[in-house]
Amino acid sequence: MVIDPMERLTVETDVSESVIGALLSQCLKLVAFFSRSLNKSERHYSPVKKEAYAIVEALRTWRHFLIGKQFLLLKDQKALSFMFNQNILIRSKMRKLLDGDWNCRIFLLTSNIDLEGKMWLQINCQEYVE
């Protein structure tokens, strides 16, 4: 897919006990994705630190698409709000990332599954991070 410079990009990250992953999309169409296994020491990170690490890796991976552009960061964990409020992102890696012109709008999402098994997302809270 060719990225339209006039349309906003969306980054969505998720973690499990042993894997981090992310999707980059535009207008609900997949542009790119990545996932990787966490190494032994990374598996011992707290859930909040794993979430932060997934964000850092996604932003690093797609930095060339995101710097200077407005994009959405979608998360399914309320821990995200705590991360940004407490400034506990992986500081050394975040410092390197923040050297650019970031314009990110963050949406915290909850998932609701209806009787037919379809998943609906509901926006609970929004924040701006520059």
- For residue range 26-46, list pLDDT tens digits in order: 988 999 999 999 999 999 998
Q: What is the pTM of this model?
A: 0.68
**Is residue 126 over pLDDT 80?**
no
**Cα separation, 122 vs 66, whole angstroms:** 25
**Cα separation, 130 vs 111, whole angstroms:** 26
> What backbone phi and psi angles, to 5 degrees, belong to 3?
-80, 130
- For residue range 76-116, list pLDDT tens digits in order: 655 555 655 555 444 555 555 555 555 666 555 444 444 34
Number of H helices, E strands in the chain: 4, 6
Decide: helix, strand or coil at residue 15.
strand
Q: Is it true that domain 9-129 has CATH number 3.10.20.370?
A: yes
Indicate the domain borders of the chain. 9-129
- For residue range 3-13, list pLDDT tens digits in order: 888 888 888 88
